[in-house]
């Protein structure tokens, strides 16, 4: 990444990074929402199964997303310091 000095360029760079993350999170939320809604129309057992699966999947997904977001600045620091090992 190129270091930005003006607020406009900083916001532009922020939105470039932010947009795919928001789209992904909205898509994952929408998937869980529509799965739950559609299974509720089928039967109570299907709704219970989807609810359990969704409640297990959400924290796992959040954990991996947080881990990946934490690794990004660490790698950036190492690349910036020219520490390739």
Tens of pLDDT, residue by residue over 30-69, are: 988 898 899 989 999 999 999 899 888 888 888 988 898 8
Q: pLDDT tier at 85 (50, 70, 90 boundaries)? A: low
* pTM of the full structure: 0.56
Name residues whose C-beta falls within 8 Å of residue 65's C-beta, 6 or more positions apart in sequence.
25
Output the CA–CA distances (angstroms, integers) from residue 11 to 4, 19, 21, in the order listed: 9, 12, 15
| pLDDT (0 to 100) of residue 1 | 64
């Amino acid at each position: 990444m190129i270091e930005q000095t003006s607020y406009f360029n900083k916001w532009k760079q922020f939105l470039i990074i932010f947009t795919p993350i928001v789209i992904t999170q909205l898509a994952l939320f929408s998937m869980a929402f529509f799965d739950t809604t559609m299974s509720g129309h089928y039967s109570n057992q299907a709704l219970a199964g989807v609810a359990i699966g969704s409640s297990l999947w959400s924290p796992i997904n959040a954990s991996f997303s947080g881990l990946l977001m934490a690794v990004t600045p660490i790698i950036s620091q190492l690349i910036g310091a020219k520490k390739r090992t």
